[in-house]
Structure 1
Amino acid sequence: MELPFIVVDQLTPQQERDWHAYFGTPGADRPRDIEEGIWRRTQESATAPQSGWQPGDARRRMVHYRYRYGLATTTGAPALALRQLYLYHHAAAPAEEIGAHWEAVRAALREGGWKPEGGAWVRGDLHVTPTLHSAPHPEDLRAGRTLPHGYACLDVQVTSSGYVPPPATRRRPWDVLASGVRRKAAPGTFRRIPDLAPLADYLPFQVEIGCGTSWEAGIPALHRLHEVYRVTTREDDAPGTRDFVLRPQNDPLLREILTAPEEKVEECVELYRACFLARPTPALYALKELHDAGLMAGPVITNNFDVLPARVGLRECFMRRYDQTVPDVEFVDGAKALLVVGLHADRRQVAARARERGMQVVHCDPEGFWHDGVFHPYPLEGPQDGDLVCTAPAGEALPDLAQHLLEKIAA
């Protein structure tokens, strides 16, 4: 496979300007030319419903990817391209399963035409470095963790030629592992409201957005990444909880990328391509109106990497970070409420910290989704005692709120 790998070919002049203005500009709230994701799935009593845990089980799977994008010169107009690739796959399981897993990896390398070179396997601009460990893994030793007797581990690192991941990058999934299993919050006693008009009593307010606003812009829901990286057994948009992929023999990810890297990387860049091509929605333009009128304060606190708030002229405070368990939030003194839009759970404790500041928390989320003409409920996990919940879609609720508040000011 050759890099750079074309993601969007022949950019229009406007797309090239968008890249320089919103994605490739140094000094933003984060390096927006980088896409990164981490999943760690463990087999323990707390995860038994999805991991199939039984006493004595301790299988573990981690996937960490970090891609850097940029412009590439082509005939005619430049292209958006993947320029740097890093993918790390870790599996821990009984030694016989890891042994079979190692043989499957080697078979996939041979089938994919990779050539051994200096302790790695090479195909074009990609290098694969597998490392087999008897338990405990060196990172387990460092953290004081143990695995059952008879377990082993296999690490597989895929990198673009010339890229050496720094120690902080290599350690990142292990730091996430050390943070433990997230405990789901139990909803408190909240009040439902038909629209967001009650925010008129809590001005100015701040806003946190989740993937609901991205979905309205045509960007795939984040569960699509679970399919691409085989985090669970999900393979379509059908509703329902899916089991973790933990047994190496049930994990197709490495075989997919080793036997047909071009095809798999085409899947891996789907989300960044969709983010780049997406356009701001009525909900985001409404937030811009509210901000310009002084009714919304501070940056948009965002869990999304689509850069859509920035593209309507709003600052962003990015939450989907892996270097901080609880990322810093830019709260504004005097803000009286936090409006949480399209976010199922308070994973980064933004709403919890807002409540500690005495802010009213208001949720805007339809609490479900349509599939094959049927609405499937997906109740919010985040609302707590005293919160307000509006189930109107953001694309309706936020423009209505902007109209209501701006008319109220003008009256």
Structure 2
Amino acid sequence: MDIPYIVIDQLVPDQQQVWKTYFGDADRPRYIEEGIWRRTQEKATAGQSGWAASDDARRRIIHYRYRYGLVPTTAAPAIGLTDLYLYHSASAPADEVAAHHDALWDSLAAGGWKEAPGGFLWTRRDLKCRITEHDVHPQDASAGRTLPAGYRSLDVQIASVSYAPPPAVRQLPWNVLSTGIRFKDRPGTPTRVPDLSVLANLRPFQVEIGCGTSVEAGIPPLHRLHEIYRVTDRQGHEPREHRFTLSPTADPLLHEVLTEPEEKTAEFVEMFRACFLAEPTPAMWALKELKDAGHLVGPVITNNFDVLAARAGLDECFMRRYDQAVPDVEWVDGAKALLVVGLHADRRKVQARARARGMQVVYLDPEGFWHDGQFMPYPLEGPQDGDLVCRATAAEALRALVNLLKQQAG
């Protein structure tokens, strides 16, 4: 596979300007796409991990980090994937790891990879693959973690040949693992409201947005990444509990990458591509009007990497970070409410911190989505007693709020 790998070819002038204006460093390096999943087999995750006894302790860690940039072409610049880094770590009973090892060798051969002198390193054009096996993983030894007797670990690192991940990047997924599993919030009994008119008496307010606003812009929902990286057995749109991919013998991800890297990379970059091609939605422009009128204060607290709030002229406070378990929030003194738009769960504890500040939490979420003509319920995970929930789409409810506040202002 060639690096740079072209993601969007022949940018028109407006697209070139979007890249130069919005995909620099800003609040974060927006030209970097990164994701981490750690799935462990333990009693607390039995329903999804298949845990049944103390010797069930399989573990799967995925970390990807991609860098994008402008690539010169004959007619106009393109957006290309300039650095690729994919890390896969599997821990399982020795017989499963041995079968995993053999399957990797078969995939390397089928994909046309060439073994470098000394072994454990393979190359295929502009990609390299390093495989390392451990009786005791060094990260477990360092952290004092113990896996059951007879367990082994196997790490696979696939990267562009010119990219050498620095120690901080290599350490990041293990730091995330050390934070433990996330326990879901227990929902309370919130109050349903028909619209957002309650915010007329809760001004100024702040806003937190989730992937619901991205989906309205035509960006795939985040569960698409679970499908691409085989995080669970999920295929399709049904919002239920899906079983973790844990046994390396049942994990197709590395086989897909090693045998057909060009085809799999097309999937890897599809989220970034969709984010770049999307346009700010009516909901985003409504938030901009609320901001300009002084009703909305502070930056948009966002869990999205689509940059759509910034492209609508709003500052962003980015929450989807892996270097902080609970990222800092730019709170505004005097804000009376937090409006939460299209966000299923409070993974970064923004809503919990808003309540602790005495702010009214107001959710805007249809609590479901349409698929093939059928509405699929997807309730919010953890609204609490005293919270307010408006079941509506962002586009309709935010525009109605803008119009209401304009009428009140005369």
Number of equivalences: 407
Per-residue deviation, 1:239? 3.7
Superposition deviation, residue 382 in structure 1: 2.5
SS in 2 for 1:297: coil
**Contact 2:239-2:378 within 8 A present in 1 as well:** no
Select 1:41's aligned residue among 39, 49, 70: 39
1:198 equivalent in structure 2: 198
CA distance in 2, matches of 1:86, 1:271: 16
Cα distance in structure 2, aligned partners of 1:106 and 1:122: 13
The separation in 1 between residues aligned to 2:220 and 2:402, in whole angstroms, is 27
Q: Secondary structure at the match of 1:344?
A: coil
> What residue number does 1:129 align with?
130
Amino acid at match of 2:128: H
Deviations along 1:76-134, one digit per CA (max 9) or x if unpaired, are 01111100000000100000100010111111111111111144100111110000001
Q: Which residue of 1 aligns with 2:86?
A: 87
Rounded Cα–Cα distance in structure 1 between residues aligned with 2:325 and 2:238? 31
TM-score (norm 2): 0.98
Aligned to 2:71: 72
* 2:354 paired with 1:354: yes
Choose the corresponding residue for 2:27, options 24, 29, 46.
Answer: 29
User: Is the contact between residue 238 and residue 376 of structure 2 (CA under 8 Å) also seen in structure 1?
Assistant: no
Give deviations 1:131-176, integer Å, cap 9, x for gaps. Answer: 0001x31101111111000000000001111211111111111111
Following superposition, the deviation at residue 188 of structure 1 comes to 1.1
Q: CA deviation at 1:73?
A: 0.9
SS at 1:130's partner residue?
strand
Flag as ranges the 4+ runs of structure 1 deviating above 6 A: none
Aligned Cα root-mean-square deviation (Å):
0.8
How does 1:146-295 map onto structure 2 within 5 Å? 146-295=146-295
CA-CA distance at 1:266 after TM superposition? 0.3
Counterpart position of 1:323: 323
1:139 aligns with 2:139: yes
CA distance in 2, matches of 1:106, 1:346: 42
1:2-17 counterparts in 2 under 5 A?
Answer: 2-17=2-17
**Is the Cα contact below 8 Å between 2:88 and 2:155 reproduced in 1?**
yes
In structure 1, C-alpha distance between the alignment counterparts of 2:4 and 2:382, rounded to whole Å = 41
Q: Distance in 1 between matches of 2:406 and 2:35?
A: 39
* 1:238 CA drift (Å): 3.4
Structure 1 portions without partners, runs of 5+: none
Code of the aligned partner of 2:4: P
Q: Helix, strand or coil: the match of 1:355?
A: helix
Indicate if the aligned counterparts of 2:60 and 2:246 stay in contact, CA closer than 8 A: yes
Listed one character per residue, the Cα deviations across residues 3-36 of structure 1 (whole Å, up to 9, x for unaligned) are: 000101111100000000001x23x000000000
The 1:153/1:34 distance shift into structure 2, 3 A limit, reads same
Distance 1:271 1:245 in 2: 21
Once residues 265 and 407 of structure 1 are traced to their aligned partners in structure 2, the CA distance between those partners, rounded to angstroms, is 50
Which letter maps to 2:127? Answer: L
C-alpha separation in 1, matches of 2:56 and 2:280: 46
Give the Cα–Cα distance (whole angstroms) in 2 for the partners of residues 210 and 15 of structure 1: 25
Structure 1 length normalisation: TM-score? Answer: 0.98
Equivalent-residue separation in structure 2 for 1:257 and 1:320 (angstroms): 26
Structure 2 letter corresponding to 1:129: R
Whole-angstrom distance in 2 between the partners of 1:397 and 1:22: 27
**SS of the residue 2:79 aligns to:** strand
Look up the match of 1:107: 106
Structure 2 distance, partners of 1:234, 1:155, is: 24
**2:409 counterpart of 1:406:** no
- After TM superposition, give the deviation of residue 190 of structure 1 in Å: 1.0
How far, CA to CA, are the matches of 1:292 and 1:269 in structure 2? 34
Report deviation, 1:189. 2.0
> 1:366-381 maps to which residues of 2 (within 5 A)?
366-381=366-381
Q: 1:336, 1:363 → 2: CA distance? A: 14
CA distance in 1, matches of 2:197, 2:68: 41
Measured in 2, the distance between the counterparts of 1:188 and 1:85 equals 43
User: In structure 2, the residue corresponding to 1:214 is in which secondary structure?
Assistant: helix
Matching residue's letter, 1:213:
T
- Given the alignment, which residue of 44, 52, 67 partners 1:54? 52
Q: How far apart are the structure 2 equivalents of 1:332 and 1:166?
A: 36
Contact 2:27 2:317 in 1 (8 A): yes
Structure 1 residue 296 displacement after superposition: 0.1
Q: Deviations over 1:244-278 (max 9, x none)?
A: 11111110000000000000000000000000000
Report how far residue 377 of structure 1 moved. 1.1
Work out the CA distance in 1 between the residues paired with 2:392 and 2:21: 32
Deviation at 1:212, TM superposition (A): 0.1
